[in-house]
């Protein structure tokens, strides 16, 4: 399977990412660009997007980029910084870029922007390679 086919294979089984409305825009080996529309049910009491939604978008980007070579990886540590509020009607894009790759771990930087290309959050995720194939899980 190509990296895009593996990411699509994962998305087909990922009902939460489907509920969020995530679409694969570009997938290359250990890289992905995904997009998500902000829906009414994602809005918190301050009329902005719930932080967990932004985290989940970044987490999905981490999953689709770190697993698309069929080398199964799971999140080991993640951190998120919010830089701008997200509103209903925004469309978010998450770009995941590998910055460090070892035999057992990988570190990815994920930038989340809105439809105006304004940075709304940054995310760094470390994954642990579990020595299994994605397609065997």
Q: pLDDT band at residue 22, thresholds of 50, 70 and 90?
A: very high
Rounded Cα distance between 18 and 78, Å, is 22
Instruction: Quick: pLDDT tens for 84-133.
Output: 999 999 999 999 999 999 999 999 999 999 999 999 999 999 999 999 99
Integer Cα distance of 13 and 1 in angstroms: 16
pTM, full prediction: 0.97
Give the confidence band of 71 by pLDDT, cuts at 50, 70, 90. very high
Q: Give counts: helices (H), strands (E), the chain.
A: 3, 6
Neighbours of 118 (CB within 10 A): 11
φ, ψ at 5 (rounded to 5°)? -65, -40
Say if residue 34 is exposed, middle or buried (CB neighbours under 10 Å; 0-12, 13-18, 19+).
buried
In the chain, what are the domains?
3-136 (3.10.129.10)
Among 59, 65, 64, smallest CA distance to 77 is for 59
Q: How many residues does the chain have?
A: 137
């Amino acid at each position: 399977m190509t990296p895009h086919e593996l990411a699509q294979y994962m998305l087909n089984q990922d009902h939460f990412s489907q509920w969020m409305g995530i679409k694969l825009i570009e997938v290359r080996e250990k890289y992905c660009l995904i997009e998500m529309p902000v829906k009414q049910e994602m809005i918190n009491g301050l009329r902005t997007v719930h932080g967990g939604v932004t985290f989940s978008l970044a987490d999905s980007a981490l999953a689709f980029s770190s697993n698309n070579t069929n080398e199964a990886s799971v999140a080991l540590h993640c951190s998120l910084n919010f830089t701008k509020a997200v509103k209903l009607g925004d469309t978010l894009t998450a770009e995941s870029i590998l910055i460090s790759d070892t035999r057992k771990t990988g570190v990815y930087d994920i930038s989340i922007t809105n439809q105006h290309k304004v940075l709304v959050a940054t995310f760094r995720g470390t994954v642990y390679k579990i020595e299994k194939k994605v397609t065997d899980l």
